[in-house]
Amino acid sequence: MIRNVPFQRASNFKRKIFSLPAPSSLRNWLLSVNAEPGFFKEVFEAMKMFPNSDKDCTLMVDGMSIRKQLIWDTKSKSYLGFCDYGNDINLEPKKTEAKEALVMMVVGLRRRWKWPIGEFLKFIRINMNLNFVSSKCHMANITVH
């Protein structure tokens, strides 16, 4: 196992100042979270329970360049690193290596809340149809301005 010594020192220093969970707790929590690309169904289900006064929001989209790299996942017995929009959305050929990660968030306008609604791995700049994103939010009774 390769260890990042400066990172560990920084984590230990921060742990003395702040009340942070142990690395094993973070690892276990991350294993239980669905982090597959696509829209997060759980978030849309939770947003349905918002009071009507909190359902006005704005959409934020952020992209980040990533290194083209394929990694073998022993759990799913497949390669990770290809373009993936999740939720059976096919906008690019399946075997194209991704070079950009895209994250979408909705942010409340009247109250302070911010929730990620989806993440995607892509190769070229594709203008994801904002009407499609708005319709996903509309199904959760969320109004995107």
- Does residue 2 surpass a pLDDT of 50? no
Question: What integer pLDDT is reported at residue 124 of this predicted model?
Answer: 60
Write the pLDDT tens digit of every residue in 15-56. Answer: 777 777 777 887 787 777 766 777 888 888 888 888 888 888
* Residue range 54-78: mean pLDDT, rounded: 84
Q: Cβ–Cβ contacts within 10 Å for residue 6, how many?
A: 7
Distances 47 to 87, 88, 92 between C-alpha atoms, Å: 19, 22, 30
Amino acid letter, residue 88: D
Domain ranges of the chain: 1-33, 34-144
User: Measured between alpha carbons, how far apart are the two ends of the chain, in Å?
Assistant: 48
Band (pLDDT 50/70/90 cuts) for residue 92 is low
